Structure 1
Amino acid sequence: MKVIRSQKAYPTRDGAGVNISRIAGFDGKSLDPYLMIDELKSDNESDYMGGFPAHPHRGIETFTYIRKGGFEHQDQMGNKKAIRGGDVQWMSTGRGVVHSEMPLLDEDNGMHGFQIWLNMPAKDKMRSPKYQDSLEFGIPKLTNSEQAELRALAGTWVMDSNRIEGAIQGLAGDGAIADVILPPLSETILDVSMYGKVLVYVHTGGLLNTEFTEGYLLEVLPTELLTLKASTKGLGVLVLAGQPINEKIAHMGPFVMNTQAQLHEAVRDYQQGKFGDIV
């Protein structure tokens, strides 16, 4: 694989004091079609027990993946779901969503999960919201001869010439997300040539003979095969792919639109109760 650039996640807090590591790309270019990758990884309850009380969104998609621990999701559409280790959940917020994500206590396993934001194209930002999760059918998986495992969270993937469809389809920007886990010193190859943007986020272990360990994000050239080789500590990566939307964005907190006027309208609509309430 050819690495175009790399960056390191930075520590920050969100929600009610939740400690996270963040990669942000609200310039609308560096991660396009993605906007943000938040990783929550801790065995200390005080890092995450405040959770994310009710808050709004407009103009984005949120994709939540839990590796261990869990959150209870609730929204104004009437969804109330326990999202636990091995589950994914996706909201295409469109013109407006109010939701909360509160932790489910897991004294044995702690918490490890991600929330990923995708930008929505201008033509879709004011459509009705949508919700999907993997609770009924689970997450499809592929395993190769070296016991490397690909968990197809969203979109379409090809690993070692085997094709698999992810649990969630229809993400903005043809988004595709996979969790790839490799034993120490093993390898696997992904064909990502169908995508215009490919990002690799290291969440466990590291890439063999590189400085790229936990918390690094790599942008790689999609026209080359993505060869992943695990260090002696093994390797776990989120691979995020898609087609750049290439639109100007305006960002304010939980709202991502195309102009400042649209942002002001989003704030006004929320304050006037047009997004609805969690019942």
Structure 2
Amino acid sequence: MSIRPVDRQSLATPTLEGAGVHLHRAFGFHDPKRHDPFLLFDDFRGDHPGDYAGGFPWHPHRGIETITYVLAGSVDHGDSLGNAGRLKAGDVQWMTAGSGILHQEMPKGNAQGQMHGFQLWANLPRDLKMTTPRYQDVKSRDIPEILEDDGTVVKVITGNFWGRSGPVDGIAADPLYLDIYVPPLRRKTFPIDTRRKAFAYVFEGAGKFADASDPRGVLLEKEVRGEEVNIRDLSGNRTLIQFGKGDEVAVQAGPDGLRFLLVAGAPIQEPVAWHGPIVMNTAEELRTAMAELRNGTFIKPAH
């Protein structure tokens, strides 16, 4: 087994989206090849309604899939096909925009006013760009949860992991999407298909991932507890970790434990023409999409 080195580490950057929603963007709108098949990843969270109440009013999508995972609060959604619903804490929605959809997403806080969720965009290959739109709404209770003897917890949202299969299926990128908690000072390794690109996103606690300059990829317990290692050297809240090649990811949690998303997908390796929420293969296809938005032919009949 070979541990994947850390190719790059960065903090998500504050961004305003929708009708003034405060969020942090880990990646997006730059080099689509870097994370292929994924295009964008946003972490939206706030302790006050003013941070998110404006939501994401009606907007189009074509040529992609969006994956929304809610941790706190809820998200009301509706679309041009007549679908409507509410995602609650722990729920997941996987929307295949395909040939085109108009929808809105309106976050709401919990009893304490807190709201937290993630949205990941996955690209669609050329032959599925204009597929019929569809939704997969998954309730928290239907997401398999693996509890290890050492206290490690893995929620399998999609893909196959440690003998469990996530409830979301039929996704073009054939992704692995895990929500992982590692207890304080525990060292763990997680297998990843060598053919897939992978990233981790830390959102609670801190830890150390394998690094090309650190063959062990972990800290000794005495190093974490002692003065030899500054806790600021660990990867913490809102940190994106991009991995190189290998067939497993190694991590050791810091003194407060570590919770992160681990996401991997098979690269599509096709040209990307991208404008806002529409992602196609050519500039001509983008122009067609924009013209259809203007003339009212963007939404296609089901086929």
TM-score under structure 2 length normalisation: 0.85
- Aligned partner of 1:61 among 58, 62, 65: 65
Query: In the alignment, is the contact (CA less than 8 A) between 1:33 and 1:172 conserved in 2?
Result: no
Render the CA deviation track for 1:156-211: whole Å, top value 9, x for unaligned: 22xxxx22111211222212211111222223321112542111111111114543
Query: In the alignment, is the contact (CA less than 8 A) between 2:11 and 2:239 conserved in 1?
Result: yes
Q: Does 1:38 align with 2:61?
A: no
SS at match of 1:123: helix
Which consecutive segments of 4 or more residues in structure 1 shift more than 3 A? Answer: 208-211
Higher mean C-alpha deviation, range 52-61 or range 214-223: 214-223
Q: Does 1:100 align with 2:123?
A: no
Query: In the alignment, is the contact (CA less than 8 A) between 1:28 and 1:246 conserved in 2?
Result: no
Render the CA deviation track for 1:41-78: whole Å, top value 9, x for unaligned: 22121110100111100011000000111101111222
Higher mean C-alpha deviation, range 193-202 or range 221-230: 221-230
Identity %, equivalent residues: 37
Q: Does 1:257 align with 2:280?
A: yes
Kindly provide the amino acid, as one letter, of the partner of residue 289 in structure 2: A
Instruction: Name the counterpart of 2:82.
Output: 78
Query: In the alignment, is the contact (CA less than 8 A) between 2:48 and 2:113 conserved in 1?
Result: no
Instruction: Name the counterpart of 2:164.
Output: 164
SS at match of 1:267: helix
Instruction: Name the counterpart of 1:4.
Output: 7
TM-fit CA distance, 1:248: 1.2
Q: Does 1:188 align with 2:188?
A: yes
Instruction: Name the counterpart of 1:16.
Output: 19
- Aligned partner of 2:290 among 252, 267, 276: 267
Render the CA deviation track for 1:216-257: whole Å, top value 9, x for unaligned: 111123523212221112111111101011111011111111
Distance 1:135 1:79 in 2: 16
TM-fit CA distance, 1:135: 2.7
Q: 1:222 to 1:193 in 2, by over 3 A?
A: farther
TM-score under structure 1 length normalisation: 0.92
For structure 2, the residue ranges without an aligned partner over 5 or more in a row are: 209-218, 220-232
Distance 1:79 1:148 in 2: 37
TM-fit CA distance, 1:276: 4.4
Distance 1:62 1:19 in 2: 19
Instruction: Name the counterpart of 2:200.
Output: 200
For structure 1, the residue ranges without an aligned partner over 5 or more in a row are: none
Kindly provide the amino acid, as one letter, of the partner of residue 218 in structure 1: I
Instruction: Name the counterpart of 2:223.
Output: none
Distance 2:157 2:113 in 1: 21
Query: In the alignment, is the contact (CA less than 8 A) between 2:203 and 2:237 conserved in 1?
Result: yes
Kindly provide the amino acid, as one letter, of the partner of residue 244 in structure 2: L
Residue-pair matches, total: 273
Distance 2:235 2:160 in 1: 26
